Amino acid sequence: MTDLYAVFGNPIAHSKSPLIHAAFAATTAQAMRYEARLAAVDGFKQAISDFVAAGGKGANVTVPFKEEAFCLSTRLSERAARAGAVNTLAFEGDEIFGDNTDGAGLVRDITVNLGCALAGKRILLLGAGGASRGVIAPLLTGQSAALFIANRTAEKAQLLAEAFADMAPVDAGNFAKTAGNCFDVVINATSASLSGEALPLPPGIFAPGALAYDMMYGKGETPFLQLAREQGAARCADGLGMLVEQAAEAFFLWRGVRPITGALLAELRTGLAG
């Protein structure tokens, strides 16, 4: 029997998830098929129902359905409940288990692939949307010394900080409020890089040896990473590693096997550079 998995989104044709999971299945000898499925903006629930009826075992969920997947889940992991969004579904009988592997993927890429420990580090998280919400708890679990959430709208950042205040003290404000502070890790969770937009970051926010990390990825440096390099960031990384690692986390949830990611990540990066 070949088990069926898929990624749902709108748009979805650009997704690298089928390639990634096919590679994971091949290297771990798993009998599974993984495909990309386009769901109508108002048809996600029906698309999932049809998929389960066809024998689907699990699914990844991307824009714009992560919040809807959260509501559709009958049981949530703690990290999904914290994030308020789901990017991974597992189907068992009538149960829909919802998980969020984004934060785990980010932390693993930073700590394992990039070799940057988060314990004791001052972290600046740019953006207060869903991408930020999904990674805050894993970042705090890494025992960082401080976390600051910066957003164009200060109120949105402050509300997000309050939602996680039970875990650790979290500061928040607009981008200007970061002036006079410096950070060891600066993570861009905004969508600015998708539109080629630069963020209004004050100079001096990158501490000596700082890592600049953009959740977005593509050919060449993003505007955020260009700015970070100009402002003295010692290391710059895009979100390709996060993409692969969050997929590996989902694969482990479904199959009970954790794939090795290094060779695939190198192959994907070569493809982007080509």
Query: Using one digit for the tens of pLDDT, what is the confidence trace for 28-65?
Result: 999 999 999 999 999 999 999 999 999 999 999 998 99
Helix (H) or strand (E) run with residue 173 in it: strand 170-173
Q: Is the pLDDT of residue 89 over 90?
A: yes
pLDDT band at 222 (very low <50, low <70, confident <90, very high): very high
- C-beta of residue 212 within 8 angstroms of C-beta of residue 225: yes
Q: Is the pLDDT of residue 2 over 80?
A: yes
Q: Is 215 annotated as a binding residue?
A: yes
Q: Is 16 annotated as a binding residue?
A: yes
Comparing 69-73, 106-110, 216-220, 223-227, which segment has the lowest mean pLDDT?
216-220
Q: What is the mean pLDDT of residues 204-230?
A: 94
Token pair of 140 as six digits: 């705090």
- C-beta of residue 97 within 8 angstroms of C-beta of residue 115: no
Active site residue 45: no
E-assigned strand segments in 1-138 = 3-9, 32-38, 56-61, 75-76, 88-92, 95-99, 122-126
Q: Is 181 annotated as a binding residue?
A: no
Structural domains of the chain sorted by starting position, each given as residue range(s) with its CATH number in brackets: 3-100+241-273 (3.40.50.10860), 103-238 (3.40.50.720)
Average pLDDT over the chain, rounded to an integer: 95
Query: Which pLDDT score, from 0 to 100, does residue 274 have?
Result: 66
Q: Which of 57, 66, 121, 219 is catalytic?
A: 66
Q: Is 141 annotated as a binding residue?
A: no
Q: Is 94 annotated as a binding residue?
A: no
Say whether 192 sits in a helix, a strand or coil. Answer: helix
Whats the size of the chain, residue-wise? 274
